[in-house]
Amino acid sequence: MKCFEFMGKEIFAQFGIPVPQGRMVTTAEEAEGVAAEIGKPVVIKSQVLSGKRGKAGGIKFADTPAEAKAAAADLLAMTVQGHPVQRILLEEKLKIESEIYVAITIDGAAKAPVIITSAKGGMDIEEQAEEDIVKVYLDVFLGLQPFLAKDLARRIGLTGNLAKSYADILEKMYNIMVKKDAELVEINPLVISGDQVIAADAKVTIDDSALYRQKDVPFVDEDMTEVEKMAKAAGVGSFVELGGNIAIMANGAGITMGTLDMVQLFGGQPANFMDAGGGTGVEGTAKAIQILLAQNPKVIFINIFGGITRCDDVANALAYVKKNIGIPVPVVVRMVGTNQEEGVRILREVGIEAYREMKEAAQKAVELSKAGEEV
């Protein structure tokens, strides 16, 4: 789960990483008050998860509280890459002498945390030259030892107190990764302002699997669509909206991806990724089918290889939704595995013929999705 910048900075402050003086607000009036409190020129930053805020006009500057109020009103009326701006962060404007890039993340292949840093902050790490980037893998049992942090400071050209402050920030970033279950802690830019090193930005991503033990971090669902929020509320394992007209449900991430790929290769457009999981039962499956319907698709395509998932459960769920809620579009089902015969029989009773082969079913779903279209 990606955190908003202001949330990341709250975590930074808790762990002792210096951040600019400031506060998050939701109205222009509050913005004026905070600007007056700060008593200096301010920067006003829209709080959206999009990475390219600055380029999209989502960051403004103001010298007086009145200017801050006007700028805040502008930002709060804006939409940045599809996200209406609901929150803004007001902060003292820093005097920037130079900018550093620093991030800690987890490298799955190396099975280790990795620190990535560069003396050239302010731009995306992808845009930087390979020779400017310093990358160090950490031993998970040693963590980030002070000697390593100090050497990293040296390698990006810092000396004296600045080097000390940088090393201290690195150690705190590592603590955040471990204690807050962060998959990513990124500061870009980390700003040198006089004798201070300050985090001008904050990107923190919390491991979704660890949210259960990070209950003090508020849940952020800004990057979810309305249907994705519905799916989450309904307890559907895994759902991503993709925008096509063939609503798809399968069980297992791999086969769901494989089903989407096949539909697309046959010329169809998947509406979504839905991994209904294993052993979801009749009720859970019925809820999942209703999420498919909520997308107003032209066709529903269900692909089940029954292992833990029982074909009769899926069939009963379909029959239930068809009888009690109604399914106004054609349904294509491919069903093999556990309790297959029973599932096929139940479906036949409600007028749905199940396929055995994934290929034929996918072709049929694509064909139906194009029905009525001019050729």
Partner 1 sequence: MAILVDASSKVLIQGITGKQGTFHLKQMLPFGTDVVAGVAPGKGGGVHEGVPLYNTVYEACEHHAIDATVLFIPAAYCKDAALEAIEAGIKVIVIITEHIPVQDELIIVNRAKLKDAVIIGPNTFGMASWKCKLGILPNIAFSPGPVGVVARSGTLTYEIVGSLTNIGIGQTSVVGLGGDRVPGSTFVDMLKRFEADEATQVVVLVGEIGGNAEEEAAEYIKTMSKPVVAYLAGKSAPPGKRMGHAGAIIERGKGTYEGKVQALTAAGAQVATFPYEVVEKVQQLIRRS
> Which residues of the shown chain bind partner 1 in the complex (CB under 8 A)?
106, 108-109, 111-113, 126, 139-141, 177-178, 181, 183, 207-210, 212-213, 237-238, 240, 242, 250-258, 260-265, 270, 273, 275, 305-308, 336-338, 357-359
303 bridge partner residues:
250, 334
CB of 111 to partner 1, least distance (A): 5
CB of 188 to partner 1, least distance (A): 13
Token digits of residue 312: 């009769």
**Which parts are annotated binding residues for Mg(2+)?**
188, 201
- List Cβ neighbours of 120 (8 Å cut-off, separation of 6 or more): 99, 101, 128, 132
d(CA 333, CA 344): 9
Q: Determine which one of 10, 32, 186, 241 is catalytic.
A: 186
- 194 burial (CB, 10 Å; 0-12 / 13-18 / 19+) is exposed
CB of 124 to partner 1, least distance (A): 9
- 226 burial (CB, 10 Å; 0-12 / 13-18 / 19+) is exposed
Q: Which is nearer to partner 1, 2 or 23 (CB)?
A: 2
Q: Which is nearer to partner 1, 165 or 285 (CB)?
A: 285
d(CA 320, CA 343): 13
Q: Which is nearer to partner 1, 165 or 309 (CB)?
A: 309
Rounding to the nearest 10 degrees, give the CA dihedral for residues 219, 223, 227, 233.
-10
Other residues' Cβ atoms within 10 Å of the Cβ of residue 137: 12
CB of 5 to partner 1, least distance (A): 18
- List Cβ neighbours of 303 (8 Å cut-off, separation of 6 or more): 248, 249, 250, 255, 256, 259, 333, 334, 358, 361, 362
Task: Give the rounded distance of the alpha carbon of 136 from its chain centre.
Answer: 25
d(CA 330, CA 22): 55
Q: Which is nearer to partner 1, 32 or 275 (CB)?
A: 275
CB of 20 to partner 1, least distance (A): 27
CB of 50 to partner 1, least distance (A): 11
Q: Which is nearer to partner 1, 65 or 252 (CB)?
A: 252
CB of 281 to partner 1, least distance (A): 12
d(CA 133, CA 153): 13
Token digits of residue 118: 């560069």
Q: Which is nearer to partner 1, 240 or 329 (CB)?
A: 240
Is the separation of the CB atoms in 186 and 3 below 8 Å? no
Phi then psi for residue 276, to 5 deg, are: -75, 0
Token digits of residue 103: 């991030």
98 bridge partner residues:
192
Indicate if 174 belongs to the active site.
no
**Which parts are annotated binding residues?**
45, 91, 94, 99, 188, 201, 251, 307-309
Indicate if 101 belongs to the active site.
yes
Q: Which is nearer to partner 1, 129 or 375 (CB)?
A: 129
In angstroms, the first-to-last Cα distance of the chain is 43
Q: Determine which one of 101, 166, 174, 355 is catalytic.
A: 101
**Which parts are annotated binding residues for ATP?**
45, 91, 94, 99
**Which parts are annotated binding residues for substrate?**
251, 307-309
- As annotated, the active-site residues are 101, 186
